[in-house]
Structure 1
Amino acid sequence: MGSVVVVGSQWGDEGKGKIVDWLSERAEVIVRYQGGHNAGHTLVIDGVTYKLSLLPSGVVRPGKLSIIGNGVVLDPRAFLTEVDAMRAKGVEISPATLKIAENVPLILSVHRELDQLREAASGAAAIGTTGRGIGPTYEDKVGRRAVRLADLNDRETIDGRIDRLLAHHNALRVGFGAEPVSAETIREELEAARPVLEYADPTWRTLREARNAGRNILFEGAQGAMLDIDHGTFPFVTSSNTVAGSAAAGSGVGPSSLDRTLGITKAYTTRVGNGPFPTEQKNEIGQLLGERGAEFGTVTGRKRRCGWFDAVMVRQAVQTGGIDRLALTKLDVLDGLDELKICVAYDVDGERMDRLPVETARQSRVQPVYETIKGWSASTRGARSWGELPAEAVKYVRHVEELVGAPVAMLSTSPERDDTILVEDPFHI
């Protein structure tokens, strides 16, 4: 029995979908513990493609229990749409197979609209959010004015929540030149969300029972460590804690229930949206990586910025996230390059640094210090053992391990789930 937390060690888009799917086949309970429907991943099972953004990966596999934890913010409309889409593909989803924390905050239209109003008003200073209302909902959660799923059971509570919510949002809307929203509009929206109630559950207790029964539990995060609200490239970050420690608070289990953390790490670096990116390659290398790696967002379709592997950033993510092992993905994208560069330090205004400075202005002035190593001409695509890899590719992987301070437990060599070199099973380390 074991509990494994899966986190991205970069800026998201590290290829978590395939790795999480591989792990969810071995887990019995799969938990989403933060974020919303702003992050997505693609699973391909028996030739069928599933694009998930809110639902845990376990929903596509029979016999698994999937849980959406209290650390998630949930858009009822998006949830019901995604459930319908999965059912259309033959996936069985019911309250017996999927449970939602009864205290999960709900994303409403006012949150989506505020998100979009802010981004439009920010112009060139826009953060680059997906406009899905995730940030404003987290704000309302912290501001103690959010509507939570269980509130739908109590109309008196709902009326008070709506009044408090609109006192805040309508003042902001007027400031942005938008029309105020009526209480009746929100009341109708919440009434339409009532079908979600059948999935409501005290998931913290369900997880405790699963743990006591010796079931393998997979805690699935969204985005990546450098988008963490505290430890990322603030303010160009998401609105929740993406590091592994969030798995405990975001699902209602104690830290001792998290046995190990697997950091999903791309063999190069990508980023969507605005913000610092020290190793970005605005040249033919960046274009090549983007084309080979099909670097477009699952949810937004936005083109990702691409660059060389940043060992400084991943090492920092390993340390702040308590990452025990790495799952290195997309190694095959580097095939055929004569030489590869790895960022081993930063130069900031003439000062050599082994971490990302916290000041936003200094982050924008970071210059990468590169180490150049020999590439490989042979293909790694589809390799399923170390013996099938070119010697230079093995050296690259070993050097990454040394630089970031964590060993590789899994190595992905193509989007196909079975094209994986397993060094250690994360559930049985």
Structure 2
Amino acid sequence: MANVTVIGAQWGDEGKGKLVDWLSNRADVVVRFQGGHNAGHTLVVGEQVYKLSLLPSGVVQGKLSVIGNGVVVDPWHLLSEIEKIGGQGIEIGPDLLVLADNACLILPLHRDLDQAREAAALNKIGTTGRGIGPAYEDKVGRRAIRVGDLADREALEVKIDRLLAHHTPLRRGLGLPEYDGEALLSELEALAPRILPFAKPAWLLVNEIVKSGKRVLFEGAQGALLDVDHGTYPYVTSSNTVAGQAAAGSGLGPRGAGFVLGIVKAYTTRVGEGPFPTELFDEVGQHLGTVGKEFGTVTGRSRRCGWFDAALVRQSVALNGITGIALTKLDILDGLPSLKICTGYRLGDQVFTYLPAGLKAQRSLEPIYEEMEGWAETTHGARSFRDLPANAVKYVRRIEELIGAQVALLSTSPQRDDTILMRDPFQD
């Protein structure tokens, strides 16, 4: 049986939550492999709406859910989210949720540093201010506190001293008060009995599950164009968001990723700062934002909207080894008389079929558009490809041609069942 890795193939917010929830019904286990609680997934099941930012989407389906070692975990937020989802009728215990014992923790001092830096910056990145970046910095700097450390007071004392030796000068430079190490130790010791029951060697569990023949769904956060290596640097997130991270962030070998499903919105959006070649500032952009309800799940920030960028998605297909895509929010384009697709870029007398790496070049790109006729009929709620208007079908097929990948799933509303299956990733 195939495993499936789900990643965002644009700048995030492509509708991964619904698709992961839909696929969770076919999976045995769901594994979150990177990011933190700066990313959000909204799941709509009937009249119930679940907003998740750290918990894997499988919890809503009652499927075993794993937070892998590639995730940075704010333990206070995790407990709060468990409580919130519990209030919606889903009880989450260690039998349902596993937390990698080697995952690194986000601490209050990380949040302080994140917010202070962003406030002081002349060229803001547009972070969520939740401490994700500083936590990854400490992970790479080999001074992070990990989940398993909560069981060892002696280790915690040493690690807190090492951590504060780095953070104290930073806080002084930013005008922040020195952090109380004893207070942090007490907070973590009080937290430990509530967090440690979830802690396990997740890499061992995931490998055993795969060997047993069960289906694993690997769930990514953000989007491939926010990848710290391959995205629009420095306007990126702090982790690798591409499909290859599913292996490193879960402890499974690279062959375990299986079918790579790239989630792609039928237009393009972006939250925060950074280049956006096809961004619209006219009534069409306003239409996409309003009808598409383009507001961040975690922050509520308005998303910038623009035409579909096939050059970007084609690049994402290559970077992630995408097997097939899930095209979302096609219904938001209903009623637009004409549509545009970006096929490449001009920069002076040069033509690019990909997004160049230089920030100055990215900001100066002029999109090359191909125009198509829109459709007056509705696609909202369609559950069969033959129910789509002819021009909608042409639009989908043209996207497939331009990005070099076929549509496996087509989403026509936020509702779980309004999904057209054209190719089952678990049966591929």
TM-score by length of 1: 0.99
2:130 corresponding residue in structure 1: 132
**One-letter code aligned to 1:157:** A
Pick aligned residue for 1:172 from 170, 173, 184: 170
Deviation at 1:350, TM superposition (A): 2.5
Shift of 1:189: 2.4
Counterpart contact for 2:280–2:307, Cα < 8 Å: yes
Partner of 1:305: 304
Partner of 1:32: 32
Q: Structure 1: which amino acid aligns with 2:355?
A: L
3-state SS of the aligned residue for 1:193? helix
Mapped to 2, the partners of 1:167 and 1:381 lie a distance apart of: 56
In the TM superposition, what are the counterparts of 1:251-290 in structure 2 within 5 Å?
Answer: 251-290=250-289
Per the alignment, residue 182 of structure 2 pairs with 184
Deviation of 1:185 after TM superposition, in Å, equals 2.2
Aligned to 2:144: 146
Partner residue, 1:60 = 60
Is contact 2:34-2:239 (8 Å) kept? Answer: yes
Q: Which amino acid aligns with 1:42?
A: T
Residue 188 of structure 1: CA displacement?
2.1
Q: CA RMSD in A?
A: 0.8
Tell me, in whole angstroms, the C-alpha distance in 2 between the residues paired with 1:27 and 1:409. Answer: 16
Match of 2:7 in 1: 7
State the alpha-carbon separation in 1 of the partners of residues 7 and 347 from structure 2. 28
CA distance in 2, matches of 1:60, 1:418: 15
Query: Does the 8 Å CA contact 2:46/2:415 hold for their aligned counterparts?
Result: no
Counterpart for residue 50 of structure 2: 50
Report the residue type matching 2:320 in the other structure. Answer: G
* Secondary structure at 1:156 match in 2: helix
- Tell me the residue number matched to 2:358: 359
Equivalence map 1:20-419=2 (5 Å): 20-62=20-62, 64-123=63-122, 125-194=123-192, 195-419=194-418
**Amino acid of the residue matched to residue 54 of structure 2?**
L
AA aligned to 2:324 is R
Q: Distance in 1 between matches of 2:45 and 2:292?
A: 20
Deviation of residue 183 (structure 1)?
0.9
Q: CA deviation at 1:373?
A: 0.8
Amino acid of the structure 2 residue aligned with 1:169: H
Distance 1:305 1:192 in 2: 42
- Secondary structure of 2:196's counterpart equals helix
CA drift of 1:274 comes to 0.2
Structure-2-length-normalised TM-score = 0.99
Supply the distance in 2 between the matched residues of 1:401 and 1:387 (Cα, whole angstroms). 17
Q: Counterpart of 1:126 in 2: which secondary structure? A: coil
Identity %, equivalent residues? 61
Distance in 2 between the 1:92 and 1:214 partners? 27
Using the TM superposition, give the Cα deviation of residue 61 of structure 1 relative to its aligned residue in structure 2, in angstroms. 1.5
Within 1, Cα distance between the matches of 2:84 and 2:158?
34
Number of residues of Structure 1 aligned to a counterpart in Structure 2: 427
Note the alpha carbon deviations across 1:236-288, whole angstroms, 9 max, x for none. 00000000000000000001112110000000000000000000001111000
Measure, in 2, the Cα distance between the counterparts of 1:403 and 1:8.
18
Q: Secondary structure at the match of 1:164?
A: helix
Partners in 2 of 1:38 and 1:255 — Cα distance? 26
Decide whether the 8 Å contact of 2:21 with 2:61 is kept in 1.
no
Looking at structure 2, the residues matched to 282 and 400 of structure 1 have their Cα atoms a distance apart, in angstroms, of 23
Deviations 1:160-214 (CA, angstroms, capped at 9, x unpaired): 1101110111100000111111211221221232111110001111111111111
Matches of 2:139 and 2:101, distance apart in 1: 14
* Counterpart Cα distance in 1 of 2:273 and 2:188: 33
Deviations 1:286-323 (A, max 9, x none): 00000110000000000000000000000000000111
Give, in whole Å, the separation in 2 of the partners of 1:109 and 1:74. Answer: 12
State the 1:367 CA deviation: 1.1
Distance 1:113 1:325 in 2: 40
Any runs of at least 4 consecutive aligned residues in structure 1 with deviations exceeding 4 A, and if so which? Answer: none
**Which blocks of at least 5 consecutive residues in structure 1 are unaligned?**
none
The secondary structure found in structure 1 opposite 2:383 is coil
Per-residue CA distance 1:361-417 (angstroms, 9 max, x = gap): 111111101011111111111111111111110000000000000000000111111
Aligned mates of 1:38, 1:420 — CA distance in 2: 27
Any idea what SS the aligned residue of 2:277 has?
Answer: coil
Match of 2:104, SS state, is coil
Gaps of 5+ in 2: none
1:99, 1:172 → 2: CA distance? 34
